[in-house]
Structure 1
Amino acid sequence: MIKQISLLLIVTSLVLHSQAQDTTKTIPSKVPASEPFAFGDFGWQNGNNRQKSALLDSKYFTGSVTFDVNYTQSNHQPIDNTVVGSTALSRNGEIQVSFVGIGGDFHYNNVRGRFMTQFGTRSTVVPRNDVSQYHGQYNLADAYKYISEAYGGYHWDKWHGINLDAGIFMSYIGLMSYNNFENWSYQPSYTSDNTPWFFNGVRLQMFPTEKLKIEAWFINGWQSYAKFNKMPGMGFSVKYAPKEYMSFITNDYVGSDAAGLPKRTRFHSDNSFQLRYYNNPKAKGATKAAFSITGDIGFENGGGVTPFGSKDGTAPAQNFISGMVYHRIWFGDKFAWNVGGGYMHNPGRYLVLSPTGEASSVPPYGSNPFTANIGDKFDAWDASTTFDFMPNDYITWKVEFVHREANVPYFAGPGGVTSPSGYTAALTGSSNPPTWTPDLVKSESRFILAMVVRF
């Protein structure tokens, strides 16, 4: 009897243990939220990285290195080899190292950070248009000029991710990326080239779903290292990609960015739509086709100007209306052809990139500066065509032709913008003749060769 009871207890124990194991298996575990926008391949988009994985990846650091080298030739062949009105180009008829970005992303226990350099001509071309560096003490241009991105922050595992970052980060107003490896064209249209490439401040990124990003900004100003007036810059960005082949982006900004004019306020709205309308990877000819459309509207108000002009004519119009359209066709993974262009309307010229040399309207001012007075009109358009050769995920060769025109003399003509000889006074030791003025022309055609390597 005792043996039977013992055997019954052993069997009962085994059954209960087996049931406990089965019950444990059936308890649903919490599935972590998916990475935002990881449901599809968005490498086809203008302004996005086509690389599917990071080559320099590790547990705590994901590295990134970019080498951007270009050669450009203008039909005017300016005597001083200077390019006017571009943040992608600086020197004509010369091989130039435009951008060397070395850095990457740090990540450990939800703490995050990013650091990226900007050696090359862009370290001068981009910061020179930020005149906030002259407000107050210290040389902010030298402090920040070799940094394209530098921020630290924290990540919360809520929704599909929440990030809070502080430092210098990319703005992406105007759709195109600061890194030309990610862009369909090399020379951006006016909408991108004349709107900010960076912000300095704090941003909050929220991903309620894997298809939606909501981002808020509290920043020093519009591409500003420092802050001119008491009001900081504020704005937000929303990106929505309901499908892999489609996305919508809006960026909106308000701030007080005019030097010495605290009552003047700037508003800006930037909006883009992208659609990949054809995708057949097995086709023998064209395998993909897509287009992007971007439209911007903005204005300044106060301090003697109104958005669209006062009825009595005492306050001129101060606005920015621009747009650009690009169309791209892929032939397999190695070749692509892009055509596009855009326009820009900016009375008051408050967002027009300043010419260089003796035509400069930013410090150090030129002897014959390109004016940016209230009421000064600026209307321009551009068109370009680009052919890309991408033998693998780490290099792009670009061949591009771009034509640009403006309603006023703006681009560098044969006489250049520096001096009759093409050299600066630092070399010649003499000033320019009083009768000499920078040679600005209303249009230019430009041929561009570029190689962009990214690891």
Structure 2
Amino acid sequence: MKTFLNLLLSTFGLTTILPTMAQSSSDSTKSDATSALNVSGYVEAYYVHDFTSPKTAQERPEFLYNHKRNREVNVNLAFIKAAYSNERVRANLALQVGTYAQYNYAAEQELLRHIFEANAGVKLSKSRDLWLDAGIFTSHIGFESAISKDCWTLTRSLLAENSPYYLAGAKLTYNTPNGKWTLLGSILNGWQRIKKMDGYSGPAISTQIQYKPSSNLILNWSTFIGSDRPDSLKQGRFFNNLYAIINPTGKLGVTLGFDIGADRKPIADGRTGRRMGDGSYVWYSPVVIARLRTGERSNMAGRIEYYDDRNGLIISTGIASANRPNGFQTWGYSLNYDYAILPNALFRIEGKLYSSKDPIFETRSGLSKTNTSLTTSLAVSF
């Protein structure tokens, strides 16, 4: 395994030195760089069968970015990561491939689509846990990530698929000495943007307040203030992500999540600056996930969610169409079973149903208000 990892690191242009074990503080024969370097990896292969879509449809609905390919075995996400840290400095570099990167990074420059993480940080205080980091990060917004094994459900929630998975910019993070509070403030290139949107001067601002009163409860509030539109539209965005994770490591755990965002109504006349109307367009999404540990190696999880974007701000359905006057107003239901074949190998299977107010899902004979699918995956981490 060590030889394999060295080969991969050499391919990516990184150091070929791998630590065999952590360095103790009393061992002065090894360099700090060697003792602090950790290499890890992750590969998730999957198969999705969409029972609703035509047999020739190779992609899942447009509002999904994970497990996107239909009726074919593929790789959702595979990455190799090198992480360096000591008492005052840290850095991460992770390079990725897979359909997640193909679809979710489609707006980025081609070279940047393969960067899962690339950031560097320095601790600003000797006595306090205060860090300044800059680069490309996995997003602090939301309780789910693109790494399926770290999430309670195999596929992602609607709110996760349509809020930032990654962010680019600089951030300050402070953790209190008792470990109960995390405070974060960041300046960003935009709403899930590495390359700043053309016509947007930015920057955007994002915050996070997380409170862990005990090991059985996590409370989180994250925000985004900025825009995902050109400056000429003067269409500012204010977004809130709230969640609570109850009993996360117990036999029965529950996650409660709620996203709500608002974009100012756009300018109708670029010459006069007259708006389409006062106020803002709003979208929101609640979700409830319950997970039950069914054995030493197995879990089950169920999810109920709703996503309301009737004005098509985040998920467009062609609102002007007479067949789809209500935009995206969709319920989601899923049930999954997980089995850990080995400590680092996880098999998962999930059935999911979407039910929309309008017929928005493609079928063999037209459009349907519902969509059903079955997803399986095998994830290995090292």
* TM-score normalized with structure 2 length: 0.82
Q: Work out which of the two has the higher radius of gyration on C-alpha atoms and give 1 or 2.
A: 1
Distance 1:234 1:56, change over 3 A: farther
Assess if the C-alpha contact under 8 Å between 2:326 and 2:357 holds in 1.
no
What is the Cα deviation at residue 239 of structure 1? 1.3
1:323 aligns to 2:291 (yes or no): no
Distance 1:181 1:55, change over 3 A: farther
CA deviations over 1:431-453 (Å, ceiling 9, x no partner)? xxxxxxxx553321101111111
Q: Structure 2 CA distance, aligned partners of 1:315 and 1:66?
A: 48
Structure 2: which amino acid aligns with 1:266?
Answer: R
- 2:77 corresponds to: 99
Name the SS of the counterpart of 2:380 in structure 1. Answer: strand
CA deviations over 1:284-308 (Å, ceiling 9, x no partner)? xxxx111000011110114249xxx
Unmatched 5+ stretches in structure 1: 1-53, 131-139, 280-287, 306-311, 355-369, 416-438
1:87 to 65, 71, 74: 65
Assess if the C-alpha contact under 8 Å between 2:262 and 2:283 holds in 1.
yes
1:392 to 321, 342, 347: 342
What is the Cα deviation at residue 245 of structure 1? 0.9
- 2:207 corresponds to: 236
1:254 aligns to 2:232 (yes or no): no
Name whichever structure is richer in strand by fraction. 2
Question: Structure 2 matches for 1:28-43, cutoff 5 A?
Answer: none
Structure 1: which amino acid aligns with 2:290?
Answer: H
- 1:69 corresponds to: 45
Higher-RCO chain (CA-CA 8 Å, sequence separation at least 6) = 1
Structure 2: which amino acid aligns with 1:173?
Answer: I
1:411 aligns to 2:379 (yes or no): no
Assess if the C-alpha contact under 8 Å between 2:140 and 2:208 holds in 1.
no
Name the SS of the counterpart of 1:191 in structure 2. Answer: helix
CA deviations over 1:32-73 (Å, ceiling 9, x no partner)? xxxxxxxxxxxxxxxxxxxxxx99866121222000110010
Structure 1: which amino acid aligns with 2:180?
Answer: K
What is the Cα deviation at residue 90 of structure 1? 1.6
Q: Structure 2 CA distance, aligned partners of 1:146 and 1:233?
A: 23
Q: Structure 1 CA distance, aligned partners of 2:128 and 2:310?
A: 43
Structure 2: which amino acid aligns with 1:80?
Answer: A
**Percent of pairs with identical residues:** 21
- 1:118 corresponds to: 96
Q: Structure 1 CA distance, aligned partners of 2:339 and 2:381?
A: 14
Name the SS of the counterpart of 1:249 in structure 2. Answer: strand
- 1:263 corresponds to: 234
Distance 1:159 1:337, change over 3 A: farther
Distance 1:158 1:347, change over 3 A: farther
1:371 to 318, 321, 324: 318
Assess if the C-alpha contact under 8 Å between 1:82 and 1:412 holds in 2.
no
- 1:187 corresponds to: 155
- 1:198 corresponds to: 166
- 2:194 corresponds to: 225
Q: Structure 2 CA distance, aligned partners of 1:398 and 1:150?
A: 29
1:213 to 172, 177, 182: 182
1:59 aligns to 2:35 (yes or no): yes
1:297 aligns to 2:274 (yes or no): no
Unmatched 5+ stretches in structure 2: 1-18, 23-33, 269-274
Q: Structure 2 CA distance, aligned partners of 1:449 and 1:55?
A: 34
Structure 2: which amino acid aligns with 1:91?
Answer: R
Distance 1:233 1:71, change over 3 A: same
Assess if the C-alpha contact under 8 Å between 1:159 and 1:207 holds in 2.
no
Distance 1:56 1:223, change over 3 A: farther
Assess if the C-alpha contact under 8 Å between 1:326 and 1:339 holds in 2.
yes
- 1:351 corresponds to: 314
Assess if the C-alpha contact under 8 Å between 1:77 and 1:92 holds in 2.
no
Q: Structure 1 CA distance, aligned partners of 2:186 and 2:233?
A: 20
- 2:29 corresponds to: none
Distance 1:225 1:440, change over 3 A: farther
Name the SS of the counterpart of 2:296 in structure 1. Answer: coil
1:382 aligns to 2:358 (yes or no): no
Distance 1:56 1:269, change over 3 A: farther
What is the Cα deviation at residue 377 of structure 1? 2.5
Name the SS of the counterpart of 1:237 in structure 2. Answer: strand
* TM-score normalized with structure 1 length: 0.69
Assess if the C-alpha contact under 8 Å between 2:180 and 2:211 holds in 1.
yes
- 1:284 corresponds to: none
1:166 to 115, 118, 134: 134
What is the Cα deviation at residue 407 of structure 1? 2.4
CA deviations over 1:113-161 (Å, ceiling 9, x no partner)? 1011220111111012x4xxxxxxxxx4202101111111112455551
CA deviations over 1:257-284 (Å, ceiling 9, x no partner)? 21354411000000000111894xxxxx
Distance 1:449 1:277, change over 3 A: closer
Distance 1:102 1:180, change over 3 A: same
- 1:335 corresponds to: 298
